[in-house]
Amino acid sequence: MIKINNPLWEDWDEILKRPTQTYDQIEGTVLEVFKAIQTEGDAAVARYTEKFDGIIPKDLIVSPSEIDKALTSLDSDLKEAIKLAKTNIEAFHKAQKTDPVRVETAPGVICWQEKRPIQKVGLYIPGGTAPLFSTILMLAIPAKIAGCKEVILCTPPDKQGNINPAILVTAQLCGIDKIYKVGGIQAIGAMTFGTESISKVYKIFGPGNQYVTVAKQMATKYNVSIDMPAGPSELLVVADDTADAAFVASDLLSQAEHGVDSQVILVSTSKELIAAVEEEIANQLEALPRKAIAEKAIANSKLIYVETHEKALELIDEYGPEHFIVATDSNDFYVDNIANAGSVFIGNYTPESAGDYASGTNHTLPTNGYAKQYSGVNLDSFMKSMTFQRLSEEGIQNIGNAIELMAAAEGLQAHKNAVTLRLNKLAKQN
């Protein structure tokens, strides 16, 4: 890891840069796939699945027998773990329900706001070396609580055309309507346009590699919404002498193993802790099955020493981490004052892994500094707010003249007339 000692403010932008990627060629590939799917449907999806995943799918949709096989083959202890996580995630997201807001803004003028579910949503779940079945819990559970009418899932098949059984079991437990053996750009394209087999959706959720990320961004050009802009996973830990160096190192490595472009940062007011964490990382890294991936991520990550908690907080807010762990003697200071973070983990016994799996919070979070503007996925991500208003005769008389004056001032005579006609009728009746 790169050690940085008391960085000057003018150097922060350079120090806090994320791993950069070039999207120019990716965008051309994505557009090619999108255009093919738009015109050819399932045939294009199958062709690009063969090209990118090395498998010609017999059927795009997962059959009931495949789900039954997964249910019998998955380890029973893992099933119980998934059920425990599901219970906690449901509890936390059900608590996010809100009642309609109703206000009488003037006598006879009633305004209210209600939330309605997005009718059709698509979930993208990465497969490969790290089949993220936990992400199904994070996306399908709030979708179902929100009341989305159709929830579909796309995930890439392996070389034999199969889907990881943990993905199938979790999807089944969450009540997913349809599961498709499609990954990458072609999955996002299929959900964007719809094909003979795959439904068009109104909003797409889920993480993915740089190709999926660019595909989701392109989907927004075709009247499809996405959960948030996304980039490589990241974690920032702030710690001092009260932290356990082994714990801190394990948290940093837990994010580093996601991918070679993941970024992890330790900010500390203790040079002794930084040295201890560096040693722990070297030791723990040797035992990781994904050592090669984690090593590359660690090589681009930072150990930053600052003298005060105030300076640390200022730097952290400038970075805006996806995941933020606080392990100091001043935890309340950080919790009370942090402005930019996707999700916060407090204390020595709150690993980031808890939020990834089973504490109940959602692990689909803004990366690449977008925590400054975006929230992580939550119940409202699957809903829209709609406003309503009802004016009585008294109501239109109370605010009608103001509407007429404002419409006339903007030069919109038809707007003014819509009120004037009503007021004139009421005047005649009286």
Question: What single DSSP character describes residue 305?
Answer: E
Looking at residue 273, its pLDDT comes to 98
User: What's the rounded Cα separation, in Å, for the pair 204 and 188?
Assistant: 8
* Annotated active-site residue in 323, 363, 393, 394: 323
Looking at residue 21, its pLDDT comes to 60
User: What's the rounded Cα separation, in Å, for the pair 15 and 206?
Assistant: 29
User: pLDDT tens, position by position, for the chain (430 residues)?
Assistant: 899 999 999 999 999 998 766 667 789 999 999 999 999 999 999 999 999 999 988 899 999 999 999 999 999 999 999 999 999 999 999 999 999 999 999 999 999 999 999 999 999 999 877 789 999 999 999 999 999 999 999 999 999 999 999 999 999 999 998 999 999 999 999 999 999 999 999 999 999 888 999 999 999 999 999 999 887 899 999 999 999 999 999 999 999 999 888 999 999 999 999 999 999 999 999 999 999 999 999 998 999 999 999 999 999 999 999 999 999 999 999 999 999 999 999 999 999 999 999 999 999 999 999 999 999 999 999 999 999 999 999 999 999 999 999 999 999 999 999 999 999 999 999 7
C-alpha neighbours within 13 Å on the C-beta side of residue 142: 28
Helix (H) or strand (E) holding 14: helix 12-15
Looking at residue 22, its pLDDT comes to 60
The SS3 call for residue 285 is helix
Enter the tokens of residue 209: 């590699």
Phi, psi (rounded to 5 degrees) for 252: -60, -45
Q: Is 175 exposed, middle or buried (0-12, 13-18, 19+ CB in 10 A)?
A: exposed
- The closest alpha carbon to 238, from 297, 310, 289, belongs to 310
Tokens 């005579």 belong to 413
Enter the tokens of residue 6: 């008391």
Cβ-based neighbour number of residue 242 at 10 Å: 14
* Annotated active-site residue in 66, 257, 322, 352: 322
- The closest alpha carbon to 375, from 200, 251, 275, 227, belongs to 227
Question: What single DSSP character describes residue 364?
Answer: -
Q: Is the four-CA dihedral 67, 209, 247, 320 of positive or negative sign? A: negative
Q: Are 413 and 407 in contact (CB under 8 A)?
A: yes
Q: Does residue 363 have an active-site annotation?
A: no
Pairing mode, if any, of strands 109-117 and 2-5? Answer: unpaired
Torsion of CA 63, 69, 70, 76, to 10 degrees: 150
Torsion of CA 263, 310, 361, 374, to 10 degrees: -70
Q: Are 129 and 209 in contact (CB under 8 A)?
A: no
Enter the tokens of residue 399: 């605010």
Looking at residue 91, its pLDDT comes to 98
- The closest alpha carbon to 352, from 247, 429, 217, 261, belongs to 247
Q: Does residue 322 have an active-site annotation?
A: yes
The SS3 call for residue 152 is strand
Tokens 């009247």 belong to 223
Looking at residue 20, its pLDDT comes to 62
User: What's the rounded Cα separation, in Å, for the pair 29 and 212?
Assistant: 11
Contacts of 222 (CB under 8 A, 6+ apart): 34, 192, 193
Name all domains of the chain by residue range, CATH numbers in brackets: 2-18+232-360 (3.40.50.1980), 24-99+116-226 (3.40.50.1980), 392-429 (1.20.5.1300)
Helices marked H in 147-209: 165-173, 184-193
